Amino acid sequence: LILGKLTPSQGEIIFFDHNGQKLNFDLDELGYIAQDNTLFPDTIANNITMFNSALNNQISGVLDQVGFTKDLDKMSAGLNSQIDLDKGNLSGGQRQKLVLARALIHQSPWLLIDEGTSAIDSAGTKQVLQNLLNTPSTVIMIAHNYSTELVSMFDRQIKLTNRGDAE
């Protein structure tokens, strides 16, 4: 519903700021990070900047924020390393970190993360979340089985269940 791919059968989705004021939500300002993310058969740098070379000077900073720097250090071509979608030369966690870096470098005011750290270990997820939550972006995170520690990092938790399901 938030992505606008479904229309609610009743009601509406309204966003409010911390003062209770209604926010105008623009889908063009939404950064979406899915569990199964999209990368391109190109360099790591281009996958982060989305081919906008004006952002190249910010790449190392966002890679630090998502914990990808150590991974990059192991790649002989560094930022020019090619992503090979057929050979799968990146792990699931590495792929997720690159998409998170992409969202950070483009400074979306809204980030909807749908299981976007599921392939990253809990220590790495904690570090990434600490960095994401220190940006001006509003982060909406969809996740299952988060530890109490990770849940406590957010302002609020909304638990959705199907009608008739017991908690």
54-85 residue pLDDT tens: 999 999 999 999 999 999 999 999 999 999 98
The whole domain housing 127 covers 15-151
Strand partners, 33: 113
Burial class (CB in 10 A: 0-12, 13-18, 19+), 66: buried
Report if residue 7 sits inside a domain.
Answer: no
CATH of the domain at 40: 3.40.50.300
Number of domains comprising the chain? 1
pTM for the whole structure: 0.84
- What pairing do the DSSP bridges indicate for beta strands 15-16 and 22-23? antiparallel
Question: Is residue 29 one of the residues assigned to a domain?
Answer: yes
Q: For residue 47, tell me if it sits in a domain.
A: yes
Residue 156 lies in a domain: no
- Tens of pLDDT, residue by residue over 127-161, are 999 999 999 888 989 888 778 888 899 888 887 77
